[in-house]
């Protein structure tokens, strides 16, 4: 299979190209082709996993070199792929969950006249994401990184006829460019320091670099990760991304784009292991973001935006774990994989509810849907139990592992990180219980002309399969250290440490989770939910409704000063650069005007000028001779 590895990326890329160039002629079967290409990539991923499993532990890597890409002087970059224990996890998640989202989209987008274009963009997204995780160098990763950014812009703004969707797509694109600059500068620093962009070359030479350079590279990589994974301070685009079709939300928020930053950090683990300062920055960003997203999620009435806030928080857990070094890398990937199942299921479930409620997304206009949407209720409920960490569901194994690793950091640092992780678990239980109760419990609050109904089978089956993953994936990957042992050759040996017996940590976390569930039930299960959000709320609730003023912060700290700087530079350009050029042009113009006056066009004037000139020359010669 090694010589066919390139088909992983080529198949969905070819599907996108064919659907975009084929135009309306492919409308009748374009959605089927889109699904087939991603399913084929998943099949390739399974075959590659089988080949890796058949090899000894020290040789589980497939590294085909396809061609010489950039043979320019000292910059020699080959276009190669790398299938190892880390990348195969992402390949299977992206193509597997991506396939289910493609199939779900057949029903969700059935009435959309541009369904073929939608599937072309989905294929492009999957192809770019697969290239990102299988490239064997940072330049190839960067190509996939930019491709994901382009595809997300196209998908978020898919309904570009709606101004709010077009604006959301531009916002996501621009904010991600901030992170792209960080990744670009990190690559420049790598080449300047190590003379290569190949993963193996960079990691082998990292030991000889200064701590300052390694910290700079780590921080720049973190900036790139923050933008792609919607971490503080560049998280605001993710809420607006909900303007795209719901399958886009599932694809971006579950298995693909938002996990790219986590992949970048974990893949670059040899650099972070040598820079404690960069690792500290990573854990600070992760801890702050997991609390930020959880708090915002408590005040969202739009079901998709509530889940978006949840995504920000859950990715924060992964980033926190990745910042803990070898003690947390495997747990970051474990939570990433389980999150791919339950978050994709939750988003597809929300899409089923929105589909049933005639595109209504406000949970205050839901209620009592559990009996009308029994399959959606069951699958969404399993995802809910997984995300809040109830045993034996998937999130229990991955989130508790991160909490234990955070506490094991020791000292004040471990106490702060552990407390943040446990508090985040309690808040997660609160806002997700709120979503469940407002959507499926209580009295109906929808209009009489609404007729909620279960989704068609093509949408239901992907939800069921994701629910199965939400139940079993955590246990299968975590019990016995299965995933830790598998990833050890890439992320290093995990040396487990506990500040308290595991059952103590687990019990305390579950108590906090149950408290969050109880508070939510008391507020939304035992009391009627008003159809309109109360206007008289606390300052914290008001702040959470406004995303803790993230947009206002960016406007005041970055946009306004940036605008003022731009206007100042324009003035400098107008008065300085343009002024000097214009002054020179004016001088030439005035001089030419004066000289032009000497050209009269009359022969007698020219004859007189010649006579006067000759006379002056003769007089000058005579004067010189007389003087001599």
pLDDT (mean) for 220-247 = 90
- H or E segment to which residue 78 belongs: strand 75-80
Distances (CA, A) of 195 to 135, 183, 267, 519, 585: 18, 17, 19, 56, 47
Closest by CA to 346, choosing from 318, 306, 399, is 306
Segment 76-91 mean pLDDT: 90
* pLDDT above 70 (res 320): yes
457 Rama class: left (phi>0) / alpha (psi -120 to 50) / beta: alpha
Q: What is the mean pLDDT of residues 193-202?
A: 92
pLDDT value at residue 329: 93
Query: pLDDT digits over 426-473, tens only?
Result: 999 999 999 999 999 988 888 877 788 898 999 999 999 999 999 999
User: What pLDDT does 309 receive?
Assistant: 92
Per-residue pLDDT, 336 = 94
Residue 529 pLDDT: 84
Return the HEC string of 433-453.
Answer: HHHHHHHHCCCCCCCCCCCCC
Average pLDDT of the chain to the nearest whole number: 89
Whole-model pTM: value is 0.89
Question: 42-46, 73-77, 361-365, 457-461 — which is least confidently predicted?
Answer: 73-77
Please check the confidence at residue 95 and state whether its pLDDT lies above 90: yes
The strand pairing partners of 70, in sequence order, are 77
Burial letters 44-71, b for 16+ CB under 10 A, else e: bbeebbebbeeeeeeebbbebeeeebee
CB atoms within 10 A of CB 450: 14
pLDDT for position 460 = 94
The pLDDT of residue 497: 64
pLDDT at 602: 74
pLDDT(255) > 70: no
Question: What confidence category does residue 23 fall into, taking pLDDT thresholds of 50, 70 and 90?
Answer: confident
- The pLDDT of residue 562: 77
The residue-averaged pLDDT of 566-591 equals 84
- Under 8 Å between Cβ of 135 and 144: yes
pLDDT band at residue 259 using 50, 70 and 90 as cut-offs: confident
Helix axes 211-228, 276-297, angle to 10 degrees: 20
596: confidence class by pLDDT, cuts 50, 70, 90: confident
Pick from 44-53, 188-197, 265-274, 558-567: least confident:
558-567
> Quick check: 172 and 227 in contact, CB under 8 A?
no
The span from the CA of 458 to the CA of 438, in Å, is 26
Q: Residue 505: helix, strand or coil by DSSP?
A: helix
- Check residue 222 and give its pLDDT: 95
**Nearest partner of 317 among 389, 234, 384, judged by Cα:** 389
Instruction: Calculate mean pLDDT across residues 264-284.
Output: 95
Q: How confident is the model at residue 254 (pLDDT cuts 50, 70, 90)?
A: low
Cis status of the peptide bond prior to 208, with omega within 30 of 0: no
Averaged pLDDT, 370-374: 92
Return the pLDDT at 628: 65
- By CB atoms closer than 10 A (0-12, 13-18, 19+), residue 43 is middle
- Which of 29-33, 342-346, 399-403, 544-548 bottoms out in mean pLDDT, i.e. has the lowest? 544-548
- For residues 278-295, average pLDDT: 95
Greater model confidence, 460 or 533: 460
CA 623 – CA 617 distance, rounded (Å): 10
Q: How far apart, in whole angstroms, are the C-alpha atoms of residue 394 and residue 150?
A: 32
Whether 241 has a pLDDT exceeding 70, the answer reads yes
How many angstroms separate the CA atoms of 28 and 284, rounded? 50
pLDDT mean over 401-416:
90
% pLDDT > 90, the chain: 57
User: CA-CA distance, 187 to 217, in Å (whole number)?
Assistant: 8
Contact 189, 213 (CB under 8 A): yes
Band of residue 496 on the pLDDT scale cut at 50, 70, 90 = low
């Amino acid at each position: 299979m090694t010589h066919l590895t390139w088909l992983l990326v080529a198949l969905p890329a070819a599907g996108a190209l064919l659907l975009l160039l084929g135009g309306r002629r492919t409308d009748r079967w374009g959605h089927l082709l889109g699904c087939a290409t991603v399913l084929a990539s998943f099949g390739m991923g399974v075959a590659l996993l089988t080949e890796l499993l058949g090899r000894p532990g020290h040789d589980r890597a497939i590294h085909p070199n396809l061609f010489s890409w950039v043979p320019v002087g000292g910059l020699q970059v080959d276009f190669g792929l790398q299938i190892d224990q880390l990348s195969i996890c992402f390949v299977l998640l992206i193509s597997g969950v991506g396939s289910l989202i493609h199939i779900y989209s057949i029903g969700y987008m059935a009435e959309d006249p541009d369904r073929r274009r939608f599937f072309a963009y989905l294929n492009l997204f999957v192809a770019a994401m697969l290239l990102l995780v299988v490239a064997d160098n940072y330049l190839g990763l960067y190509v996939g990184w930019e491709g994901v950014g382009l595809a997300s812009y196209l998908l978020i703004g898919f309904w570009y006829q709606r101004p709010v969707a077009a604006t959301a797509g531009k916002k996501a694109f621009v904010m991600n460019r901030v992170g792209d600059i960080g990744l670009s500068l990190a690559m420049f620093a790598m080449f300047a320091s190590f003379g290569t962009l190949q993963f193996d070359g960079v990691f082998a030479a990292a030991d000889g670099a200064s701590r300052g350079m390694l910290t700079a590279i780590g921080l720049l990589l973190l900036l790139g990760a923050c933008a792609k994974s919607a971490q503080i301070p560049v998280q605001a685009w993710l809420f607006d991304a909900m303007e795209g079709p719901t399958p886009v939300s599932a694809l971006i928020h579950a298995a693909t784009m938002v996990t790219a930053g986590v992949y970048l950090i974990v893949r670059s683990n040899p650099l972070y292991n040598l820079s404690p300062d960069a690792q500290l920055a990573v854990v600070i960003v992760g801890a702050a973001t997991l609390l930020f997203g959880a708090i915002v999620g408590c005040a969202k009435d739009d079901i998709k935006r509530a889940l978006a806030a949840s995504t920000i928080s859950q990715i924060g857990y992964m980033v926190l774990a990745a910042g803990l070094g070898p003690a947390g890398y495997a747990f970051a990937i474990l939570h990433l994989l389980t999150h791919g199942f339950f978050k994709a299921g939750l988003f597809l479930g929300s899409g089923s509810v929105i589909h049933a409620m005639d595109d209504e997304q406000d949970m205050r206009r839901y209620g009592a849907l559990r009996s009308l949407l029994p399959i959606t209720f069951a699958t969404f409920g399993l995802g809910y139990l997984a995300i809040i960490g109830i045993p034996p569901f998937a999130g229990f194994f991955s989130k508790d592992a991160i909490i234990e690793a955070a506490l094991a950091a020791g000292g004040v640092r471990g106490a702060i990180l552990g407390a943040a992780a446990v508090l985040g678990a309690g808040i997660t239980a609160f806002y997700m219980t709120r979503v469940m109760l407002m959507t499926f419990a209580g009295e109906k609050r929808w209009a009489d002309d609404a007729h909620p109904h279960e989704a068609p089978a093509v949408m239901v089956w992907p939800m069921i399969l994701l629910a199965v993953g939400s139940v079993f994936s955590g246990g299968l990957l975590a019990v016995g250290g299965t995933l830790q042992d598998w990833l050890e050759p890439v992320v290093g040996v995990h040396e487990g440490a506990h500040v308290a017996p595991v059952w103590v940590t687990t019990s305390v976390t579950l108590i906090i989770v149950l408290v969050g569930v109880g508070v939510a039930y008391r507020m939304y299960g035992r009391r009627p939910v008003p159809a309109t959000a109360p206007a008289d709320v606390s300052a914290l609730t008001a702040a959470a409704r406004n995303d803790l003023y993230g947009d206002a912060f960016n406007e005041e700290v970055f946009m306004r000063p940036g605008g003022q700087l731009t206007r100042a530079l324009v003035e400098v350009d107008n008065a300085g650069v343009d002024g000097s050029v214009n002054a020179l042009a004016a001088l030439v113009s005035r001089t030419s005007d004066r000289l032009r006056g000497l050209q009269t066009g009359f022969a007698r004037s020219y004859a007189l000028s010649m006579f006067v000139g000759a006379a002056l020359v003769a007089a000058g010669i005579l004067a010189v001779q007389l003087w001599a």
